Amino acid sequence: MVTRGFTGKAGDYGQSRRLPSGQHVVSDFPVLSATPTPLIDTENWTFTLKNGPRVLAKWNWADFKALPQTKMTRDIHCVTTWSKFDTFWEGVLIDDLLAAADLVAPSAYTLAHSYGGYSTNLPLADLISGKAMVATKYGGKPLAPEHGGPARLLVPHLYFWKSAKWVNSLQFTDRDEPGFWELRGYHRYGDPWREQRYTND
Ligand SMILES: Nc1nc2c(c(=O)[nH]1)N[C@H]1C(S)=C(S)[C@@H](COP(=O)(O)O)O[C@H]1N2
Ligand SMILES: [Mo]
């Protein structure tokens, strides 16, 4: 499989415009997890929208799969320097979740939480307007457990640690509160195009 971007020399216009500084392209799909893979049965899976501790809306798997499903092909960029082009996902846009909950967002900041205890902070603005989804399929197939199945957040324009695997809730917070990696030295926002890898970048 050869495409123009991959074969161009360093500095080739097409690739440099597409590959953020300090990144290299991979064709495999590395697995990066801080914890063992939790095995979650879709029978028991739920996804909750919260405002602080208060539940705003909650879906089980069947209800979630009945929401509008959207396809997305995007490049992804991991802070450990690999990037993968043209990854193909399907799931529910955050816009469609908020619409289904008939919700006016109560704050501008969120924390995504996962089965297993992982979390990551995201401004609401980075989740809406078609930018992000809760993905349940990758490459046309149900999302594999090691990549976050049954469902993961996909926020492809930020470093991939923001795309919480095994996601089970999105919580509105009054302030921007750091999550798992942000408390351990990773950047609060994580824009790969500005190389926001670590806290003070
Ligand atoms: N729940 C959870 N989500 C997570 C992580 C994790 O350890 N736990 N790792 C993050 C990091 S650092 C990266 S690079 C991506 C890796 O996703 P992948 O294993 O599908 O490549 O998931 C992110 N989401
Ligand atoms: Mo990562």
Name all domains of the chain by residue range, CATH numbers in brackets: 44-77+84-194 (3.90.420.10)
Pocket test for ligand 1, best of 161, 169, 180 (most atoms within 8 A of CB): 161
pLDDT value of residue 7 = 47
| Rounded Cα–Cα distance for residues 21 and 15 (Å) | 11
Does ligand 1 have an atom closer than 6 angstroms to the CB of 155? Answer: no
Atom 24 of ligand 1 has which residue's CA nearest to it?
164
Of all helices (H) and strands (E), which one includes residue 98? helix 94-100
Contact in structure between 186 and 110 (CB atoms under 8 Å): no
Q: Which atom of ligand 1 is nearest to the CA of 35?
A: 7
| Residue pLDDT, tens place only, 66-120 | 999 999 999 999 999 999 999 999 999 999 999 999 998 999 999 999 999 999 9
For ligand 1, is residue 32 a contact (CB within 6 Å)? yes
Residue 15: per-residue pLDDT: 59
User: For a pLDDT cut of 70, what percent of the chain falls above it?
Assistant: 92
Average of per-residue pLDDT across 15-31: 93
> Is 11's pLDDT higher than 70?
no
Per-residue pLDDT, 97: 98
Q: Confidence band (pLDDT; 50, 70, 90) for 14?
A: low
Q: Mean per-residue pLDDT for 161-187?
A: 98
Q: What is the mean pLDDT of residues 132-154?
A: 98
Ligand 1 pocket residue status of 30, Cβ below 6 Å: yes
What mean pLDDT is reported for the chain? 94
Q: Which token pair is 171?
A: 């919580």
- pLDDT of 123: 98
User: What ligand is nearest to the CA atom of residue 135?
Assistant: 1
Nearest CA to ligand 1 atom 1: 165
C-alpha distance from residue 90 to each of 31, 59, 82, 140, 192 (Å): 19, 17, 22, 8, 23
- Residue 129 predicted with pLDDT over 70: yes
Average pLDDT of span 14-30: 90
Is the Cβ–Cβ distance between 155 and 188 less than 8 Å?
no
